[in-house]
Structure 1
Amino acid sequence: MTTHRVTAPHVVCEHGAALVDMRAGDLVFLNPSAGRVLAHLAAGIDTTVIATRIGDATGAPADVVERDVRALVDALARRGLLGETNTPSVRRNRR
């Protein structure tokens, strides 16, 4: 399972999302569909699960949704706005 953590400051609303690209000094705006994907990513949900949920909600073909989710994740990762993690984070109590 591969999950991604959103590394950029961001906000998500019903109108989409905005991320701050600190390296470039830019704001990146996402449409409502991409904003939903970002919200799922920020919650630590795997990209395959995200695609399934969106496909179920919209009736769009699974292969199309998976391709679109992957394209968004790749674009955000190239800009340094996402980091990849292959294992869930575990919080340990230290004494």
Structure 2
Amino acid sequence: MSDTFFAYLVTLAYGDKETPTLAQVVFLSENEAEDTRTVARALLQNAKQTAPEKTRFDWSTLKVHGSQSLSDDELMGLVAAAAQGQVGVGRVSTLKLS
């Protein structure tokens, strides 16, 4: 088992398809090469609580419109939408943590 984690900044899109709400969240993984497809799969699994223990989203880092946080109810709604496949992954960028 590795204790090394790789951090990614993930842009999520949800809500109205014509004008979706964009949010960013930190995704921690044991994999060094994540992309939008693998992160989208992990998002669906994580929301359904079937994700591997070592791959996860740090929902406490979620920011909407650049700086706004969601209330607990809004966050629960977002996770529920993700479990139904209604949240898209738009971009996955590697984060350098120091």
Q: Calculate the TM-score normalised by the size of structure 1.
A: 0.32
Q: Calculate the TM-score normalised by the size of structure 2.
A: 0.31
Higher share in strand: 2
Structure (1 or 2) with the larger CA radius of gyration: 1
